Structure 1
Amino acid sequence: MKIAMACDHAGFGLKEEIKALLQKEGHEVVDFGTDSEASCDLPDYIYPAALAVGRQEVERGIFVDGVGYGSAMIANKVPGVYAAVCQDPFCAQLARSHSDTNVLCIGGKIIGSAIAAEIVKVWMATAFLADVEKYAVRVEKVKEIGRKHLVW
């Protein structure tokens, strides 16, 4: 799978660890930066990565900042992006199976390496339960809201 990755300075170390894990599992990672722990502005990296997801140039995105919420707020402004902040594997499983998210946001200041790896593995391996009508209907309602209010 082709995965966009992006981070700010607070998420750089964890992004690099997740990137290595994904590559080891055979995924192609498109890294939108940042490339160091030097202070930077989150939108400069998350926005281009979110655009790649929204334009379907990549299949999914994984974004890492201090707590995850900044990345999710930016990413969810882009049409076609459905980002969730996940702080444990259970939330990651539900974010995929019930909500069909295509972007995972993680907080590098609050999630350690081991739990982050488990979150990523679960999120990557979980399919959307499209054949369960209640989830399909809910996700379609969210997409309809986007069609009404988000424009290119």
Structure 2
Amino acid sequence: MKIILAGDHAGYELKKEIAAQLTAMGHTVKDAGPFSSESVDLSDFVYPASLAVAKHEYDRGIFIDGVGYGSALIANRIYGIDAVVCQDPFCAKLARQHTNSNVLCLGGKIIGPAIAAEIVKTWMTTDPLTEEKYLRRNNKVKEISKRHLRPLDEIKF
């Protein structure tokens, strides 16, 4: 699978560890920055990475900032992105099973590398549930996106 990573200075160290883990799992990994722990603006990295996932240039994204919420706020403004914040493996499992999320957001200031590794492993290896009730619920969320967000092919860049 092709995975794009992004974040800010608060997620830089954890992002390096997650990149190594994903590579060891056999995934192709693109680090979209930042490339140091020097202070940066989160949107400068998460926004282009979100676009890359929405355009299907990457299968999934993993974004790491201080607590994860900033990345999710940015990513979820893009049509075709379903970003979740997970702080434990149980949430990661449900985020994939129930929502088929394509972006995982982690908080480099609130979770350590061991739990982050378990979250990533769980999220990467869990398939979405295909029972009718989950498909129906996910389709309702997609309809909300269609009503309130513009598909990328309607936007000039």
Range class of TM-score, shorter chain: over 0.9
Deviations along 1:112-140, whole A, 9 cap, x unmatched? 0000000000000000012x111100001
Amino acid at match of 1:138: R
2:123 aligns to what SS in structure 1?
A: helix
| Residue 155 of structure 2 corresponds to residue 137 of structure 1 | no
Number of the residue aligned with 2:6: 6
Q: Deviations over 1:6-32 (max 9, x none)?
A: 010000000000000000111001111
Question: How many pairs were matched up?
Answer: 151
Whole-Å Cα distance in 1 between the matches of residues 109 and 8 of structure 2? 11
Matches within 5 A, 1:21-40: 21-40=21-40
Tell me, yes or no, if structure 1 residue 149 matches structure 2 residue 154: no
What is the aligned-residue identity percentage?
62
Aligned to 1:84: 84
Residue type at the aligned position of 2:115: I
Partner SS for 2:34: coil
Q: Kindly provide the amino acid, as one letter, of the partner of residue 8 in structure 2.
A: D
List alignment gaps of at least 5 residues for structure 1.
Answer: none
What is the RMSD computed on CA atoms of the aligned residues? 0.5
Aligned to 2:68: 68
State the partner residue of 2:111.
111
Structure 1 length normalisation: TM-score? 0.98
| Distance (whole Å) between structure 2 residues aligned to residue 91 and residue 112 of structure 1 | 16
Q: For the residues of structure 2 that align with 1:29 and 1:147, how far apart are their CA atoms?
A: 30
Question: Which consecutive aligned stretches of 4+ in structure 1 deviate over 2 angstroms post-superposition?
Answer: none
**2:18 maps to which residue?**
18
